[in-house]
Amino acid sequence: MNVVNANSVVMKKLLVFTVVMFVFGFALVPFYEKICEVTGLNNLLQADTLVENPQVDTARWVTIELDANVRGLPWQFKPLQRSVSVHPGEMVQVMYEISNNSNREINGQAIPSYSPQLLAKHLKKLECFCFSKQVLKPNEVRQMPVQFMIESNLPADINTVTISYTFFELGTNNAAAMRDSGNRS
Amino acid sequence: MAAVDHDIAHAHDDHHPTGLMRWIGATNHKDIGTMYLWFSFIMFLTGGVMALTIRAELFQPGIQIVNPELFNQLTTMHGLVMVFGAIMPAFVGFANWQIPMMIGAPDMAFARMNNWSFWLLVPAALLLISSFFVPGGAPAGGWTIYPPLSVQMGMGMDMAIFALHIMGAASIMGSINIITTVLNMRAPGMTLMKMPLFVWTWLITAYLLVLAMPVLAGAITMLLTDRNFGTNFFNAAGGGDPVMFQHIFWFFGHPEVYIMILPAFGIVSEIIPTFARKPLFGYSSMVYATASIAILSCIVWAHHMFTAGMPAAGQLFFMYATMLIAVPTGVKVFNWTATMWRGSMTFETPMLFAIGFIFLFTIGGFSGVICAIVPIDIQVQDTYYVIAHFHYVLVSGALFALFGGTYYWLPKWTGHMYDETLGKWHFWLSMFFFNLAFFVQHFLGLAGMPRRVPDYALQFADFNMISSIGAFGFGLTQLLFLYVVLKCIRGGEKAPASPWEGAKTLEWTLPSPAPYHSFETPPVVK
Amino acid sequence: MKEKKAKLDGGKLLQISGAVFWAFFGVRKQSDLELDASTLTPAQVIIGGIVGAALFVGSLMLLVSLVTS
Ligand code: HEM
Ligand SMILES: [Cu+2]
């Protein structure tokens, strides 16, 4: 085998390796999702499981402010009450309402966000409209529950928390929508 | 002799195109090496001007010179230009000049591809820099281009992504060329274990490049489709995850920092034995340690993400792994020191830069280990402490090695000796101003000054002023370097084949300046 | 191109794992290195290196789980 051939053999091997690594970059996406799922990190779409007989701390009140937003889709979205006061350990249900103000069918997904961040650890959700996408027909109005509990080991200095949901439209170019809605500050 | 490649075979006649065509159509490894070096020096000055603008703004608290938007663009572009435009191409330039001469090959394996890898860089750099002039300006979210900012930015971001794609493709082609040259084109008798360490470190670096660059290409392709084609890889609203970008980016990014330092290790490992007039202590350890650093560098990436949200078990894993990677790095420092031990040393400019490298790189290594300790990093992450860390490893590490290597090989490249007095001035001024600019940034970071901000609280004022003075001094000193190099190209004392008494590698058997075609008949290495 | 029939007996495995271990540490005696270079094939070293890296990751994870439990 002369040097020219030997060189092109090495080049081909390295090109294959390059392509493999390029694909590997994309393979990290499902891999990452799998890890998050297996380790229970960052699971937005699954209901939590509850411990048996949670202790209700009737001596303590926590105020929960409910916040609702839409980003870039023609819906109205609001909680039916602005805030609720609950005991840690107590199961509560709150209602939200969405209405589609346009005459097209729209798929939306709600993403939760908590303040303080620490709340994420102590909030157990049994049911939520955010576990799946919501499909609204033209001008449809829907009321949806969230059922949850705040664990009684929430640090004692926290008396008021905020649970916020934002609806995003699925199946469109969110990046472009975000740019167009003047999101660049 | 072996007919190697038609490009090389063609080069047998001594006529070669002159003028502009010589450079545009260049396939000679020395011409291409020269172009890489000048390209990277121009980019170095470009990035340097950005850095000095940043430092001018930070000279005093308050906003004086650039508005915050432009400031953010400058920090981002400074990083991108220095990493992808200055440091990486400079090392490729060294590889082009030196690898064929050091292993006794007539040229690189794929001379035509070599030409493309260089010329791709030029449009890529123009694309990157012209992003300053489009609506919305250059990318401004940091050189790490994290979403969501990088998804929301204007078209400057698309241009940067394309530029990175092209530069990535160019460096993959360059790496393929280097690996093939080293594996297949060595002179008879030049076994792998006889190769100079510079060649070894570049071989391993080239493997790291083909491993890491495609992953970056994947990540920025995902960014591009998120931006323009409605995918949701990093968009939380669509089920994606911005933190995932950080993981993919740093899976590339940490090997990348070693890509920028391993060839520097190689250069220093050539300089130290020459001026200590002793063979490198622990040659084999050096080879093994380089390989080990390369492998380990693929499993420490999340030390850049300790504050991005990670379970304690993950933080501990990456903390332990990162601290262990310092072991083979430390072994190298010991080997260099041991090489100098009882050597008959002289302190010409290349040696000064090499010793400066060892000294300051070690400081950077230590601050790296400090950043790797999770509870400390939670304090210093995104502060000037991290800036200080990586400038100690990149400027006084990679860049000092590049300066040292330039002085070391300039006689071979130009046929003239450089001006030793001015070279020493360049070293001492660089050393002084570098430390003036960056040492105080450790204190700023520990005191809590965040990075990437155009304004700061009053208590940081003094150190920032000192740092800015140092930065301007360092920047101006580099014009002296330019002068020394130009002077050396245009004339000076005639350099003998081997101007350095202790130099043992093959390139010193060639006359100075190295002939346009060298080792067409391979030398025999005993 | 080269003989690929090197037998994997116990001594050979020991030599490979030794080479890989010292490589990770970054120190290797010159004589051992020459022995490695002349008797081990690249494939053996690469596979050894990958296995070594996997073991390294595994032992770190074990350590972490001990520390965090
Ligand atoms: C002893 C070896 C090293 C260790 C233990 C180490 C550790 C670290 C750690 C933990 C960080 C993250 C700090 C933070 O963001 O809070 C970091 C950042 C960084 N390191 Fe190192 N490092 C080492 C060597 C190097 C070398 C050799 C280079 C390059 C030549 C380098 C370049 C960088 C860069 C560029 C960053 C900052 C990236 C950014 O956020 O923009 N490091 N290092
Ligand atoms: Cu790193």
**Phi/psi of residue B44, nearest 5 degrees:** -60, -45
Residues A118-156: tens digit of each pLDDT: 888 788 888 888 888 888 888 889 899 898 888 888 888
Residue A130: name the closest of A168, A184, A176, A102 by CA. Answer: A168
**Phi/psi of residue A109, nearest 5 degrees:** -130, 130
Q: Which of B114-128, B425-439, C1-15, C42-56 has the lowest mean pLDDT?
A: C1-15
Neighbours of A112 (CB within 10 A): 15
Strands of A106-115's sheet in order across? A83-86, A62-71, A160-169, A106-115, A134-136
Q: Is B375 on the interface with C (CB under 8 A)?
A: no
Percent of chain B with pLDDT over 70: 97
pLDDT(B358) > 90:
yes
Render B428-486 in DSSP notation, one character per residue. Answer: HHHHHHHHHHHHHHHHHHHTTPBSS-S---GGGHHHHHHHHHHHHHHHHHHHHHHHHHH
Within 6 A (CB) of ligand 1 lie B 144, 257, 260-261, 303-304, 322, 326, 329, 365, 368-369, 371-372, 377, 380-381, 386, 389-390, 393-394, 397-398
Q: Is C4 on the interface with B (CB under 8 A)?
A: no
Would you mind telling me the total number of residues written for chain A in this entry?
185
Q: How far is B322 from chain C (nearest CA, A)?
A: 11
Q: For chain C, how long is the longest CA-to-CA vector?
A: 51
Higher pLDDT among residues B361 and A90, named by residue = B361
CB contact under 8 A, A28 and B251: yes
Neighbours of A72 (CB within 10 A): 18
CA B116 to CA B26: how far, in whole Å? 9
Chain A residues with beta carbon closer than 8 angstroms to that of B183: 10
Q: How far is C22 from chain B (nearest CA, A)?
A: 8
Q: Please give the residue of chain B at the shortest CA–CA distance from C28.
A: B285
Q: Which two tokens stand for residue B340?
A: 């100098």
Percent of chain A with pLDDT over 70: 86
Burial category of B62 from C-beta neighbours within 10 Å (exposed 0-12, middle 13-18, buried 19 and up): exposed
CA B435 to CA B421: how far, in whole Å? 21
Q: Is A41 on the interface with B (CB under 8 A)?
A: yes
No. of H helices and E strands in chain B?
19, 0
> Which ligand is located closest to the Cα atom of residue B389?
1
CA B34 to CA B227: how far, in whole Å? 38
pLDDT(A37) > 80:
no
Beta bridge partners of A78: A97
Residue A96: name the closest of A73, A70, A117 by CA. Answer: A70
Residue B309, helix vs strand vs coil: coil
- The pLDDT-based confidence of A178 (bands split at 50, 70, 90) is low
CA B467 to CA B473: how far, in whole Å? 10
Beta bridge partners of A160: A63
Q: Please give the residue of chain B at the shortest CA–CA distance from A19.
A: B214
If you measure from the C-alpha of residue B153 to the centroid of ligand 1, how many angstroms do you get, rounded to a whole number? 27
pLDDT(B197) > 50:
yes
Give the mean pLDDT of A27-52. Answer: 76
Percent of chain A with pLDDT over 90: 17
Mean model confidence pLDDT for chain A: 82
Q: Is C12 on the interface with B (CB under 8 A)?
A: no
The reported pLDDT for the residue numbered B2 is 41
Q: Please list, in sequence order, all residues whose beta carbon lies within 8 angstroms of the beta carbon of residue B101, skipping any fewer than 6 positions away.
A: B412, B506, B507, B510, B514, B518, B519
A91 alpha-carbon distance from chain centroid: 21
A73 with A99: CB under 8 angstroms? Answer: no
Residues B9-25: tens digit of each pLDDT: 444 445 567 777 788 88
The residue whose CB lies within 8 Å of the most ligand 1 atoms, and thus the one to mutate among B317, B393, B442, is B393
**Phi/psi of residue C26, nearest 5 degrees:** 95, 15
The reported pLDDT for the residue numbered B131 is 94
A124 with A48: CB under 8 angstroms? Answer: yes
AA identity, residue B148: P
Residue B523: name the closest of B184, B109, B188, B108 by CA. Answer: B188
Would you mind telling me the total number of residues written for chain B in this entry?
526
CB contact under 8 A, B222 and A26: yes
Q: Which of A113-117, B216-220, B373-377, B381-385 has the lowest mean pLDDT?
A: A113-117
Residue A134, helix vs strand vs coil: strand
The reported pLDDT for the residue numbered C18 is 76
If you measure from the C-alpha of residue B365 to the centroid of ligand 2, how many angstroms do you get, rounded to a whole number? 11
Residues B425-478: tens digit of each pLDDT: 999 999 999 999 999 999 999 999 999 999 999 999 999 999 999 999 999 999
CA B332 to CA B282: how far, in whole Å? 9
Higher pLDDT among residues B118 and B10, named by residue = B118
Residue A98, helix vs strand vs coil: strand
Q: Is B514 on the interface with C (CB under 8 A)?
A: no
Residue B48, helix vs strand vs coil: helix
Task: Say which DSSP state A119 is in.
Answer: H
CB contact under 8 A, C26 and B299: no
Residues B258-310: tens digit of each pLDDT: 999 999 999 999 999 999 998 888 888 788 888 888 888 888 999 999 998 88
- The pLDDT-based confidence of C26 (bands split at 50, 70, 90) is low
Task: Say which DSSP state B195 is in.
Answer: S
Q: Is C65 on the interface with B (CB under 8 A)?
A: yes
The reported pLDDT for the residue numbered C17 is 77
Would you mind telling me the total number of residues written for chain C in this entry?
69
Q: Domain coordinates of chain C in residue numbers?
A: 2-68
CB contact under 8 A, A21 and B215: yes
B55 alpha-carbon distance from chain centroid: 22
CA C48 to CA C20: how far, in whole Å? 6
pLDDT(A181) > 70:
no
The reported pLDDT for the residue numbered B3 is 40
- The pLDDT-based confidence of B336 (bands split at 50, 70, 90) is very high
The reported pLDDT for the residue numbered B198 is 95
Render B409-441 in DSSP notation, one character per residue. Answer: HHHHHHSB---HHHHHHHHHHHHHHHHHHHHHH
pLDDT(B166) > 90:
yes
- The pLDDT-based confidence of C9 (bands split at 50, 70, 90) is low
Q: Which of B321, B328, B332 sits opposite C25 (nearest CB)?
A: B328
Q: What share of chain C is helix, strand, coil (3-state, %, to 5)?
A: 75, 0, 25
- The pLDDT-based confidence of B108 (bands split at 50, 70, 90) is very high
Burial category of C59 from C-beta neighbours within 10 Å (exposed 0-12, middle 13-18, buried 19 and up): exposed
